[in-house]
Structure 1
Amino acid sequence: MTEPALKTAMLADAALAKSSQLLTSSALANTAAAAPNSGTPTLTIVEPKAGASFAIDPTPAMPKIDCRAQIVGIAPDPTPTTAFDWLIDINEPLKRGTCPSAGVLCGHAESAVGVLGGRWRPSLVKFCGGATRIRVTTTVGGVRLEAETQVMILGENPHRSQIHPMLGGVTTDIARIACRESGMTQFENGFPKLGPGGDTGIMQLCDPAATCDQRWNWRANVQAGIALFNQDKQAALKHLNQHKIDGRWPNNKGMKNDQVLQREAIKRYNAGVNKAYWTWDETKQMWMAKPPGDYTDLVLAASCP
C-alpha cells in the first residue's frame, strides 16, 4: 500500500509533467503558425491574362487595363505591403510604303514606381495601339523578382452615323471623299487601315504624314482630312482665278463655277498640287479637263449612307 505522502508527490509530478507537455505543444504550435514559409518566392502577373485584347472604343477612348501582380511561394503573403515598379510599353508595327505616313513609328510607354499592394492601372492618355508589353518588378528579402506579359490594344471602327456629322452629312464632297478613300473605315483587323502606299485611316492621310493620334483616334483623322480639303479648295480657287472671264471660269465641259471649283478641289485631295483637274488652254481661252479626272468622277459617285 502506497503511503499518502508518496502518492501526493507522484500525483504532483504527473500534473507537472502534463502541464509542461501542454505548454511545450502550445508554444510549438504558435511558433509554427508565426514562422514564414522558407520557400523561394516568385512573382506573377495575375491580370491581365497573357494574349488578352483591349479595345480603343468608337468614342474614341483608350481602354482601362487593370494590372495585378502576386507574390507566391512565401507565407504570409507579402503582396499587400510590398512596393512594385510597373511598365507598360505599346508599339504599332511599322509598315513600309511610299507615303510619308508609312514612315511614322508609333509607340507609348508609361511607368510607375513604388506602387503599393500589387495593383496598377496605367493612365494611357495618348492614343496608341499594337503589341503591348506589361512588366512588373519588386524586391523581397533582398531578392529581385520580375514578371512580364503580352497583350494587344486594337481599334474599333465607329459607326458611320458617328462620322457623318463631322463631315457635314452624307452627300458633302468631303463625305464622298471619305467614302471613296476608305469606305469610312479607320481600322482593319484592329490596326489603322492602310492604303497601298501607307495612306492611313478614314481620310487615307498620306502627305502630310498622319500622326500617331491621327492613326489611332478616328476623330483626329477626320479633322485632319477636313483641314487638308479646305486647303485644297483654297489652292484650287487660287489656281482657277489665274484665268477668269466675266466672272466665270470658261471650260470645255460647260460647267458652272461651283462645279469647276468642286472638281479641282477633289482632284487635288488625291493628286496634290502638281496634278490639277483643269489646265488653261491659251488658244481656246478656256479651262480644259486634263487629265480626265477619273478619281474625281469616282468620288462624286461614292455614297456611304
Structure 2
Amino acid sequence: MTTQPTKRKVRVRHVKHASATNINQKSLVKAVIQNDTGEWVRPATGDKFYIDESPKFPSVVFEIKTDVPPPYQWKWTIVWDAQVSSLRESAKRGKKLRTFSQSGSFTSNEKSWEANLNDMIVGGKLSVQVAAGATEFRRTVFVLGKNPAKENVVSFIATMPNTLGFDKVVEQESHFKNFINADNEPVVAGDRGYGLTQMTNPAPSYEQIWNWKENIKVGVKLFQEKQSEAKDAFGHHPYTDDQLMRETFTRWNGGTYYQWNSETKQLERKNVLCDPTQGNIGWNMDNPSNAGRTADQLHERDKGQYSQMKAGQSKEHPWTYTGMCYVDHIFGN
C-alpha cells in the first residue's frame, strides 16, 4: 500500500483588528483594517512611529521569524492620503486631494531590516512584504510626525539669506504647525497648500510636505524670488524694510502693494479697501461701483458671493482677492 504524504500546514495570520474604528465622532483617528501575514518578531501590526522635531526618521526595525534559508526578497511601500484639514485641532479632515506614495525592493540574507525609505523623511502607512521561499510575510505600521518648536523654525529661517519677515509669513499661513497634533499628519489646505509654508505653486513633493525643513526651504526659495521681484519693481526709488516686506508678502499671495506717485515722489499704497472680516478679500476703490462706500456697506453687498469664489465676482459684485489685504492682515492694519 502506498502511503500518501502528509501535507505540511502553513499557518497564515490574518490580523483584522490592527486598528479599530474610533467611536468618537470628533476624533481625527482614521479607521483602518489591515491584513498582515506571517510570523513576525517585530514590529506589531499597526504600531505608530514618529518623525521627531529634528526632523529625523524613526528607527523602525522589521524582523521575520522563519527557518527558511536566505536570500529573502523585501519590498516596502509607504502611502499617504492628503485630506483637507483645518488648523483647529477639533475639526475633522475633509476630502482627499491626492495620494502620495513611494516604494522600493531589495534582496537580503538578513531576517531583519531597519527601514530606510531611500533616505527620505516621509510618513503615512508603511507596509513591508517579505518572500522567504514560498512563505509570504506582510506587516503594516504608521509613520507620523511631530511639530518643531516655533523658535527652532525661526532659527532655521535665520540661517538663510534674504528672508526678512519670512517668519511672519509662516505665522500667518500655519501658526508654525507642519502637522495637526490630533492625528500627527501634515496640515493640508483646500487649495492644496501643505505644511508650515502652505506651498501650492510650485507644488511641494512628498518629502517637502513631511520634512518641515524641506518645507521651509521650498517656501524660502519662492519668497526670495518674490523679494527680488519687489526690489526690481522699486527700481531706483528709495524704500524702507517695512515697504520691502509688504511688497514681497503681497507678491507671495498675489498682486502688488505699492505704486510710485511721480508728483509726491513716494511709494504709495494702492487704492484698495479690505474687508476686515476676511483674510484676502477687498475692493478697488478706483472702481465707480465701489467708490464712496464703506467696508461694511461693500461687505453686505458682496458677502453672499464669497462662497462662489471667482465665479462670484461680477459687475454687480466687483470684489476681488488681493494680496494687499493678506498683508494688511499680517501687519494688523
Residues 1:69 and 2:71 are matched in the alignment? no
Q: How much does 1:122 deviate?
A: 2.7
Q: How much does 1:65 deviate?
A: 1.3
Residues 1:54 and 2:49 are matched in the alignment? yes
What CA distance in whole angstroms lies between the structure 2 residues aligned with 1:104 and 1:210?
12
Residues 1:187 and 2:163 are matched in the alignment? no
Q: How much does 1:104 deviate?
A: 6.9
CA RMSD of aligned residues (A): 3.0
Candidates 208, 218, 221, aligned match of 1:214: 208
Q: How much does 1:145 deviate?
A: 1.4
SS of alignment partner, residue 106 of structure 1: strand
Q: Which structure has greater helix proportion?
A: 1
Determine the structure 2 residue equivalent to 1:32: none
What CA distance in whole angstroms lies between the structure 1 residues aligned with 2:196 and 2:186?
9
**Does the 8 A contact of 2:164 with 2:245 survive in 1?**
no
What CA distance in whole angstroms lies between the structure 1 residues aligned with 2:109 and 2:242?
62
Determine the structure 1 residue equivalent to 2:247: 264
CA deviations 1:193-217 (Å, max 9, x no partner) are 1222111111111111112221111
What CA distance in whole angstroms lies between the structure 1 residues aligned with 2:112 and 2:52?
24
Determine the structure 2 residue equivalent to 1:298: 329
Determine the structure 1 residue equivalent to 2:196: 202
Q: How much does 1:90 deviate?
A: 0.3
Mapping of 1:66-215 within 5 angstroms?
66-71=61-66, 78-79=67-68, 81-95=69-83, 105-116=99-110, 118-124=111-117, 125-139=119-133, 144-168=134-158, 173-188=165-180, 189-215=183-209
% of aligned pairs identical?
A: 22
CA deviations 1:50-109 (Å, max 9, x no partner) are 1111111111111221111123xxxxxx25x44322211001214589xxxx97753221
What CA distance in whole angstroms lies between the structure 1 residues aligned with 2:221 and 2:265?
33
Q: Which runs of 5+ in 1 are unaligned?
A: 1-36, 72-77, 249-255
What CA distance in whole angstroms lies between the structure 2 residues aligned with 1:128 and 1:113?
23
Q: TM-score, normalised by structure 1?
A: 0.68
Tell which structure's C-alpha radius of gyration is larger: 1
Q: Which runs of 5+ in 2 are unaligned?
A: 1-5, 12-37, 86-95, 274-323
**Does the 8 A contact of 1:56 with 1:153 survive in 2?**
yes
Partner amino acid, structure 1, of 2:140? Q
Determine the structure 2 residue equivalent to 1:232: 226
SS of alignment partner, residue 75 of structure 2: strand
**Does the 8 A contact of 1:91 with 1:132 survive in 2?**
yes
